[in-house]
Amino acid sequence: MNAAVAVEQPSIAQELLAALPASPDAYPHKLDFVRAAVLIVRLDAIAYRAASFLDDRILGPATAGGWFPMQGIIERSRMVSRPVPLHFIFHTGHVGSTLVSRLLDEAGGVLPLREPLPLRSLAEAHDVLGHPDSLLSPAEFAGVRDMCLRLWARAYDTTRCVVLKATSSAGRLAVPLLGACPAARGVYLNVGAEPYLATLLAGENSAVDLRGHGPERMRRLQSCVGPVATPLHALSIGELAAMSWLAETLTQHDSVRRLAARVMSVDFDRFLADVEGHTGRILAHFGIPADPDRISAIAHSTVLTRYSKAPEHAYSSALRAQVLEDSRARNRQEIRKGREWLERLARSSDVVASVAGAAIS
């Protein structure tokens, strides 16, 4: 059991299992496919809304929870009797997804799930599904996936719908998830290549983030366009950011194409230029009722004045613009390298040219 979680007691275990079919308070925090176990912890509505990330940062010494056999949780999840609509926010990373999620919180009746860890585990399991090294058969994967979908769709009495904001790289699960959940809808956020490069290169931990996701993104990119001449280890930081943008953007385009009207593509820069209009369209897409006055109030809420991932810090679209301009000045050479890498690949690949041509012109 995770050291940050209070030691499991039989009474706590029984309470969590009893609550599981009806209440989001029994939250499936982690999947362990080696042990075939699920970590269930106690969470409440206030904690869901406060959390920017449903990762181990939500755990503490007082967190009650315990590990349970996965098959038992799968069976227990089939007892969920009053699910609400479940929708998704997918994104290519650092493109305002947390802001959009927090704005939707202001509509009322929305239960947010921001970057739940089981989604990452499902994405990794799906990557090797059908391969000799997969721990799960296709049927076993479907069972765990459906368990998660059922448990994510549980609601409080005031909940109209659940909106799950995925981790950026989990966008590769958009088609499998929405395929298994026919009533679900999604939005998919992105920005153009140049602002993406400026954004990624502005961060202090950019290299760690980009290198950490690099191997999976390179594999995904090559599955779309074929072999890429320059290996991952030889890419500069700007080229690595460009590769990341391309892999995620190709995934976005494929998801929107295959899921048609069920997934709405949203450019974050255009969103910021018309927050009210885009907020109204996203609410309508998710079937969340809101009159014009309510939409206007959401679009002018204090959420827009705080840093969404850490609301204790002030932030604004003007500050974002300033950060990007500073990054363009400091990282001019790496941004140029990234754009040139995209241009070279676009000249040899119609697939890349179809998504990157306008973005790098």
Over the stretch 100-151, which tens digit does the pLDDT of each residue have?
999 999 999 999 999 999 999 999 999 999 999 999 999 999 999 999 999 9
Rounded to whole angstroms, how far apart are CA atoms 347 and 20? 53
The predicted pLDDT at position 65 comes to 92
CATH class entry, domain 82-109+160-356: alpha beta
Radius of gyration of the chain, Cα coordinates, nearest whole angstrom = 21
d(CA 135, CA 122): 12
φ/ψ of 79, rounded to 5, equals -90, -5
Local confidence band at 284 (pLDDT 50, 70, 90 cut-offs): very high
pLDDT at 276 over 90: yes
The pLDDT-based confidence of 203 (bands split at 50, 70, 90) is confident
pLDDT of residue 300: 95
CA–CA gap between residue 214 and residue 201 (Å, rounded): 15
pLDDT at 297 over 90: yes
pTM of the model: 0.94
pLDDT per position as a tens digit, 50-66: 999 999 999 988 899 99
**Where are the chain's structural domains?**
82-109+160-356
What gap in Å lies between CA 192 and CA 268, rounded to an integer? 9
- pLDDT of 47 reads 97
Q: Which residue has the tokens 């109030």?
A: 297
DSSP result, 11-77: HHHHHHHHHTTT-TTEEEEEEETTTTEEEEEE--HHHHHH-S--SGGG--TTB-EEEEEHHHHHHHH
- Which pLDDT belongs to residue 9? 61
Of residues 216, 192, 217, 218, the one with CA closest to residue 335: 192
Whether the pLDDT of residue 7 is over 60: the answer is no
Q: What is the pLDDT of residue 241?
A: 97
In 3-state terms, what secondary structure has residue 90? strand
12 phi and psi, to 5 degrees? Answer: -65, -45
Task: Find the helix or strand (DSSP H, E) in which 190 lies.
Answer: strand 186-190
